[in-house]
Structure 1
Amino acid sequence: MTASPTPGGIAARLAETACVNHPFTLTDGTRLSAYFDEYRLAANPSLLRDTARAMVSLIPDETEALAGIELGGVPLVVALSAATGLPASFLRRLPKRYGSRRQIEGADITGQRTVLVDDVVRSGGQLLAMARMLRVAGAPVSAAVCVLERPLGGRKLLAEQHITLHALLTEEDLPAQRAGDAA
């Protein structure tokens, strides 16, 4: 088995590939001068694979399933599922309006200790909403993993709801010239 990439090596590669120095507006209207482009990460097969391999160590031992949040968490959860052998589910922010009309797709994770997967965590609100949805559906959630954590209160908010956040990188881990105020 190939050794997991080091977070430092991944940080440089992620900064080079996915940190974009260009104006970006968050959903709350906040404007940033730079952002983390999860699509650039997902579009780079070797970087996605290596990022997932580096994230494997963040997954708690008792984990039975993974759940990726649309859209940035979906390619990550697929790669993590392949790297860990754990089943994956895919979470929509809103139920599908046609077809299955589901909000949770993929593996049946009812009763399985599930870890949430997302690309970037800021305030933690989206992860918390998804954790509540999974808990109502019968999937216990006590942990979440992400590629990049921004220090905007997400860790604290999740901890208040008994969810431990495990981040591969924080802004401080990214090379300064590319990180900016990456979303």
Structure 2
Amino acid sequence: MDKNELVREIALASHLKGRFRLRSGEMSSHYFDKYQFESNPILLKHLAIGMAKMIPQDTEVLAGLELGGIPLAVAISLEIQLPVVFVRKERKTYGTEKIVEGIDISGKRLCMIEDVITTGGQVVKSVEVLRAMGAHINCVLCAIWRSAQQAEILEKAGIREIHYFSMQEILMNLERL
């Protein structure tokens, strides 16, 4: 499946019509459900193949951000045979009480993986955690970049944003359907 086919299939799978309450509290007759493409093994595999080609060459470990970044990070890991860690949004309050699950990342070069970035706020917080643990991380690769207006937040934190699709590409494909 080429990139044009993939964006069309993601748009078809993820665009829902109905009655939805948005995070803002407003109601909408349309909703973009990213878990529809992340839970589809064919779409996930093709997305991972494409995204794997965008991983910086010096990357030693992939860091999947909870929740949506984790299936993508695992799928990409399987494609390029790099280890992966799972980054929680909040520290676990039981057992090992970890915020990062997986191998030791101290001194390692990481690439964070996320499904959709809208504001970049959680990415910045998570990168700060990873850096505090001794990881070298300066980029985030996402499947869908929602808003170029938020690039400054990542830039100020020294994080380069790499994306496979923009939300504009998804929306343009929806208009054609």
Identity %: 31
Corresponding residue to 2:15 among 19, 31, 51: 19
Output one character per residue of 1:109-146: Cα deviation in whole Å (capped at 9) or x when no partner.
22111011111101100100000000001111110011
For residue 140 of structure 2, what is the aligned residue in structure 1? Answer: 144
User: Which is richer in strand?
Assistant: 2
For residue 104 of structure 2, what is the aligned residue in structure 1? Answer: 108
For residue 154 of structure 1, what is the aligned residue in structure 2? Answer: 150
Return the letter of the residue paired with 1:25. Answer: L
- Please give the secondary structure, in 2, of the residue aligned with 1:58: coil
Unaligned runs of 5+ in 2: none
Higher relative contact order structure (alpha carbons within 8 Å, sequence separation ≥ 6): 1
CA distance in 2, matches of 1:31, 1:53: 36
Question: 1:126–1:30: structure 2 CA closer, same or farther, 3 Å change rule?
Answer: farther
TM-score using structure 1 length: 0.86
- Please give the secondary structure, in 1, of the residue aligned with 2:147: coil
Unaligned runs of 5+ in 1: none
TM-score using structure 2 length: 0.89
For residue 176 of structure 1, what is the aligned residue in structure 2? Answer: 172
For residue 37 of structure 1, what is the aligned residue in structure 2? Answer: 33
- Please give the secondary structure, in 2, of the residue aligned with 1:142: strand
CA distance in 1, matches of 2:27, 2:116: 14
Determine if contact 1:122/1:153 at 8 Å carries over to the other structure: no
Question: 1:50–1:110: structure 2 CA closer, same or farther, 3 Å change rule?
Answer: same
Determine if contact 2:16/2:31 at 8 Å carries over to the other structure: yes
Residue 47 of structure 2 corresponds to residue 51 of structure 1: yes
CA distance in 2, matches of 1:172, 1:48: 20
Residue 105 of structure 2 corresponds to residue 82 of structure 1: no
Corresponding residue to 2:60 among 54, 60, 64: 64
Corresponding residue to 1:93 among 66, 89, 93: 89
Determine if contact 2:7/2:173 at 8 Å carries over to the other structure: no
Output one character per residue of 1:85-109: Cα deviation in whole Å (capped at 9) or x when no partner.
1110001111111122100001222
- Please give the secondary structure, in 1, of the residue aligned with 2:163: strand
Question: 1:178–1:85: structure 2 CA closer, same or farther, 3 Å change rule?
Answer: same
Write out the 4+ residue segments of structure 1 that deviate beyond 6 Å after TM superposition.
none
CA distance in 2, matches of 1:36, 1:178: 11
Output one character per residue of 1:61-103: Cα deviation in whole Å (capped at 9) or x when no partner.
1111110111101101100111111110001111111122100
